[in-house]
Amino acid sequence: METEQKPRTRRELPPTKVEVSDEERGVIQERPDQTDLSLSAYLLAVDMNTPIKSVVDLTAVADLAKVAGDLGRVAGLLKLWLGEKRGQGAPAVDDDAMMVKFRELLGEVRSLMSKVVYGSS
C-alpha cells in the first residue's frame, strides 16, 4: 500500500541562488518596496511573468475613487437643487444635459481606475 506524500512547503525546498554585484543587489532589493511585495514574492512574480502592480498605481486608484465619490455627491446635490428651482434660471434642457455630462465624467473616472487596476483594455 502506497502512502501519499504531502507536497513540500516552499520553506522546505532548496532556494534558487543568483550571483549579482552589490549594485545589482541594491536595485533588486529596491523594486519590491515599490510594489508592497516581499523580495521572494517579487522575484517569483517576475520569474513567472506575472503582472506586478505598483503601490503608486494603487494609490492613484484610491485617489480617483475619492474624486469619483465627490463628483457623484456634487451631481446629486446639483440635481436636487435644480429640481427644487426648476424653471428659475437655466432651462430644464440645460439641467438634464449637465447631469448627462456628470455621468459621462464619472464613467471616464471609473474607466481610468479599471485600466490602472486590471491593465489596458
pLDDT tens digits, the chain, 121 residues: what are they? 566 788 888 788 888 888 999 999 998 888 888 888 888 888 888 888 887 777 777 777 788 888 888 888 887 877 777 777 666 655 666 667 777 888 888 888 888 878 777 765 5
Strand ranges in 6-104 using DSSP code E only, listed in sequence order: none
**For the chain, first and last CA: distance in Å?**
53
Domain boundaries, the chain: 19-52, 55-118
Which are the contacts of 68, defined by CB distance < 8 A and separation ≥ 6? 106, 109, 110, 113
Confidence (pLDDT) at 57: 73
Confidence (pLDDT) at 101: 82
